[in-house]
Structure 1
Amino acid sequence: MSPVLSGASICLLDIRTIAVAQLHQYESWLGAAEAARYTRFVRPLRRRQFLLGRALLRAAMGEILAVAPESIVLEERPGQAPRLLAPAGGPYFSISHSGHWVACALSSTTRLGLDIELRDPQRDVLALARQAFGAAVAGELEKLPPEERQAVFYQRWSEAEARHKLGVEEACCMTVAHAELSIVLCSTAPLGQAPVLLLSALAPD
């Protein structure tokens, strides 16, 4: 992969492509606090999401910094995104996961907040909208055709999550097209162009 350092790139991984035998290698990349958190996850899917999200981030960042992924040190912060401790001077980043997908966004120029959501046609998006956004938004969505309603709901949901991760009220947000996912990337500074969407190097050839 070739991340765009002047803007932002998003690396995507379908975790179904990773064999169980590969997981042991990525487990060895985790720091002590990460490993402790990893062992506390009960659901197998959540364990894989966590492990492969951290592996994806290290692989992408390692390519940018020209270092081995296992040499990258992340600090666990309860309730917050991890912080890069070593090597110094790394890119800004954000991690997200949904269903069988994990993703990380990277930029050398601006802080980021990324959210991905696997669109589920069976979900009652009107009920979710009433709970998350209130009756007025739910009323607007109800007037839309079902397919458009789902797309608009997921875009709003992803943008809200991405803004929350960024933690900046005046965020610049972009929607990235994908067949299965709703993807929104927010940044503190305008990116100038759409983020580059990349398949992960973790996936086998």
Structure 2
Amino acid sequence: MSDWQWIPTHTVTPIAPQTLHIWRLPLRSEGTNHWWDLLSRDEQQRAQRFVRSQDQDKYVQVRGTLRCLLGQYLHIPGQTLCFDYGDYGKPQLISSCNSLNLQFNVSHSHELAVIAVTQTTAVGIDIEQVNPQARYIDISQRFFATAEHETLLQQPVEEQCRTFFQLWTRKEACVKAMGGSIAHALDQINVAQGLHQASIAIEMQEEPHELFLHNLFPDPNFAGAVATQAPLQHLHLWQWASISSD
């Protein structure tokens, strides 16, 4: 959808309950040194374990930008933030440095990353570059729910690849909003319903509540989705504008 407008800025605006902020971050393989000192020692050590320098650069850029953004929301230095991790590795701020009860989630694919931020409600976000070489019919048949696979097969052949990645990112976003792992929940969520609607409430199998799912269009070559555990009234789209040269 070309009508999605991402507003470039490196300054956050205050966030309110029932509001979702999504930040789009183009990833570059250079100019990440200014982020290094924002990272914790554990994050620096993790960055150094990447074999390829471009993967290290992307990790540093995403993690540094995340700290910068969250620090601005909370009005504290980004390097002072402390994170905890759920059973499946989803990061969250510890309560002592999270006066606004911010919830966030991050996804990146190839040269693009997105960061979703809410207040109070849990959020999951996912993007994937659409890859026509993927064996998407085989993957769908093996891992998707029957209704999802049938929805994929019902699409025109020329739209099946993008539909597959839209279904995949919708499923991943829902799982991340629940704090889980997609490997443990592939058959617990049917994200084919309302596939082409901007947003929809998804009934969770074996769960007492709904998820609120929104399609996301981060780039013409990408599919994406974001899910929250509570309904939202406002969505704001920002593109991170680098401050490295300031």
State the TM-score bracket (shorter-chain normalisation): 0.7 to 0.9
1:5 and 1:109 in contact (8 A); partners too: no
* Counterpart residue type for residue 121 of structure 1: P
Q: Is residue 145 from structure 1 mapped to residue 156 from structure 2 by the alignment?
A: yes
- SS of 1:30's partner is coil
Of residues 107, 119, 125 in structure 1, which corresponds to 2:130? 119
Asked if 1:44 corresponds to 2:30, the answer is: no
Structure 1 match to 2:33: 24
TM-score by length of 1: 0.84
- Provide the C-alpha distance between the structure 1 equivalents of 2:22 and 2:13, rounded to a whole number of angstroms: 8
Kindly state the Cα deviation for residue 24 of structure 1 after the two structures are TM-superposed. 1.8
CA distance in 1, matches of 2:154, 2:62: 37
TM-superposed CA distance for 1:59, in Å, is 2.0
- For structure 1, the residue ranges without an aligned partner over 5 or more in a row are none
Distance of aligned partners of 1:143 and 1:88 in 2 relative to their CA distance in 1, 3 Å threshold: closer
| TM-score calculated relative to the size of structure 2 | 0.71
1:8 is paired with a residue of what secondary structure?
Answer: strand
Alpha-carbon distance between aligned partners in 2 of 1:191 and 1:137, rounded to the nearest angstrom? 25
CA contact (8 A) 1:96 1:104 kept: yes
* 1:10-38 deviations in Å (ceiling 9; x for gaps): 1111112x6x2x32221211112222222
Structure 2 stretches lacking a partner, 5+ long: 1-8, 180-203, 205-209
Cα drift, residue 180 of structure 1: 2.5
Alignment RMSD: 2.5
More helix by share: 1
User: 1:189 matched to which residue of 2?
Assistant: 230
Identify if the C-alpha distance between structure 1 residues 69 and 204 changes in structure 2 by more than 3 Å, giving closer, same or farther: same
Give, in angstroms, the shift of residue 44 of structure 1: 3.5
Correspondent of 2:169 among 158, 183, 191: 158
Taking only the aligned residue pairs, the percentage that are identical comes to 24
Does the C-alpha gap of structure 1 residues 87 and 137 become closer, same or farther in structure 2, counting only changes over 3 Å? closer
Q: 2:68 aligns with which of 59, 63, 75?
A: 59
